[in-house]
Amino acid sequence: MLNEVTITKAILETYMNKLKSALELDVAIVGAGPSGIVAGYYLAKAGKNVGLFEKKISIGGGMWCGGMMFNEIVIQDAAKPLVEEFGVRIKKFEDGYYTVDSIEAVSSLTYHALQAGLKIFNLITIEDIVFKNGRVSGLVINWTPVDMTGLHVDPLTLHSRFVLDATGHPSNVVEALVRKMGMKLNTVTGGMVGEKSMDAHLGEMNTVENTREAFPGLYVSGMAANATFGGYRMGPIFGGMFLSGKKAAEEIIKRLE
């Protein structure tokens, strides 16, 4: 006979063990869009203790809906080997342009990242950072429903050797650091430079170039990198997001070693 209390205990104990194992991380990734998931995959594959925190129920950020709700995305030559590594089927459109079913892309990236050992926590919003010894040293976490309803519930905290802001256009972690701590970033202005208008070619290059450390302990990837360092947007071409996630992982791995 199945026992309802045993089912409840199974969920509570397993989840708590997963969360406890993420309280002292090598890398804490904020945001489960394409760049965050890809970064998580490569970091986990390298044996790092890495947790990814996503405020929504679903994982995948802005990738589900392709362009304007047509659920296909475009990738370019440079991103093809990476996409193939995730077992995603690629269709050639014309020389240099390929399409991928966006739902297959999200599902496959997520599956491989989890299998590599990435710990994913959905429905958790990052509301602040831990700031110690002049560097970003962790995250302040709360349930998304608490954040959405504005209930006065104090958060919990985790430590991490590095934090990756992969929150997309708003660059929420960098924004919190600047707003709450008044810190100068490693940007040309010392502040958040801001995202520029559309240029797909430049935007794709900017995304990868801008993937770096914005402040001691805090890296940026994807659209958050462009919002922080200043870069064009590119629309529904996703190669730059994937390559940015990979670059973020590689740079952080070097620092951890």
Question: Does residue 155 interact with ligand 48H by CB under 6 A?
Answer: no
- Identify whether the C-beta of residue 164 lies closer than 8 Å to the C-beta of residue 42: no
Q: ∠ CA 34-91-88 to the nearest 5 degrees?
A: 40
- Chosen residue from 119, 233, 246, 247 binding ligand 48H by CB under 6 A: 233
Question: Does residue 166 interact with ligand 48H by CB under 6 A?
Answer: yes
User: What are 34's two structure tokens?
Assistant: 């394409």
Q: Bridge-partner residues for 136, per DSSP?
A: 131
- Chosen residue from 22, 29, 35, 178 binding ligand 48H by CB under 6 A: 35
Taking the complex as a whole, the smallest distance from the CB of residue 28 to ligand 48H amounts, in Å, to: 11
Question: Does residue 36 interact with ligand 48H by CB under 6 A?
Answer: yes
What is the footprint of ligand 48H within residues 41-100 (CB under 6 A)? 53-56, 61-63
Residue span binding ligand 48H (CB under 6 A) among the ranges 2-10, 34-42, 92-100, 153-161: 34-42
Q: Which residues contact 244 (CB under 8 A, 6 or more apart)?
A: 35, 38, 207, 208, 210, 211, 221, 222, 225
Q: How many residues bind ligand 48H (CB under 6 A)?
A: 29
Question: Does residue 235 interact with ligand 48H by CB under 6 A?
Answer: yes
Q: Positive or negative CA dihedral for 157, 158, 163, 164?
A: negative
CA 223 – CA 210 distance, rounded (Å): 9
- Chosen residue from 223, 243, 248, 253 binding ligand 48H by CB under 6 A: 223
SS3 state of residue 70 = strand
Taking the complex as a whole, the smallest distance from the CB of residue 242 to ligand 48H amounts, in Å, to: 9
Smaller CB distance to ligand 48H: residue 137 or 167?
167
Question: Does residue 34 interact with ligand 48H by CB under 6 A?
Answer: yes
Question: Does residue 239 interact with ligand 48H by CB under 6 A?
Answer: no
Smaller CB distance to ligand 48H: residue 49 or 240?
240
Question: Which of the 8 DSSP states describes residue 237?
Answer: B
- Chosen residue from 28, 241, 248, 253 binding ligand 48H by CB under 6 A: 241
User: What are 26's two structure tokens?
Assistant: 């090598």
**Phi, psi of 88, deg, nearest 5:** -85, 135
Residue 160 Cα distances to 28, 90, 135, angstroms: 6, 36, 11
Please report, as ranges, the residues that interact with ligand 48H according to CB under 6 A.
30-36, 53-56, 61-63, 125-126, 166-169, 172, 222-224, 233-235, 238, 241
